[in-house]
Amino acid sequence: MSQKFPEVQGGGSLIIAWQVKEKNVLVVGGGERGIQVAAGRILHALNADARVTVVCPSSGLNDEVAFRIAEKQVSHIDRNFEPQDLDAADMVLCAVDDPEASTRVWKLCKERRIPANIADVPSECDFYFGSVHRDGPLQVMVSTNGNGPKMASIIRKKIAGTLPDNTGAAIENVGLLRKKLREVAPDLKDGAKRMKWMSRVCESWSLEDLVEMNEADMSQLLDYYKSGEVPSLKAIRDTQ
């Protein structure tokens, strides 16, 4: 009986896409190495549409973080971290060169139940940053659970190298088609049929076809939803 089910492999992380849009992310930076790491953390948070506040003395900023502050992409508190900085934080990303200061931030976050990542200290992290490949809506993350960040980067590059060009554009078109399909068949009872039909589209059309598909093609394709058919892109255009 047990052979019918996947084997449990402990020691992993729960890999999820954490929605932080419009959430308050506090970045605590400091030190030459720390502010470099903080710059990467800031970009990750901004890419996820978070509201970012950076706590770091101006003297400790690097060019990238100073640029984002000057462009008002992030808010800046020009001093070292203080406990009251956590009052409005939904998430904390700490990257400072002082281990004692890092642990202080971690303990305060635990007291307030604020999820935190303390750079380079896996034992003081509620979550890890992986190595991410980004192509429009496509995000592929490789995590080594804090064991080898450089290995994560190497593996991520190998995976990215196998992906066809324009994968992101194809995904954007599939997303638009799904949105239009929900307008055509909005009832909850149609959920299983919608999923099955969209799966057939993704499996039967080539990546190139999905990239090339325009809104006129989508309208034509949606006419076949009720019957469950999935004609080719060529067949659709031959009827236009």
Residues with a catalytic annotation lie at 120
Q: What order do you get walking across the sheet with 91-96 strand by strand?
A: 75-77, 51-55, 24-30, 91-96, 116-118
CA distances from residue 219 to 49, 112, 167, 185, 234 in whole angstroms, order as listed: 31, 51, 22, 13, 14
- Pair of tokens at residue 95: 């990257």
Per DSSP bridges, beta strands 51-55 and 75-77 are: parallel
Give yes or no for a contact between 29 and 60, defined as CB atoms under 8 angstroms apart: yes
Give yes or no for a contact between 177 and 195, defined as CB atoms under 8 angstroms apart: no
Q: Residue 63: which H helix or E strand, with range?
A: helix 63-70
Distance between CA 1 and CA 26 in Å, rounded? Answer: 48
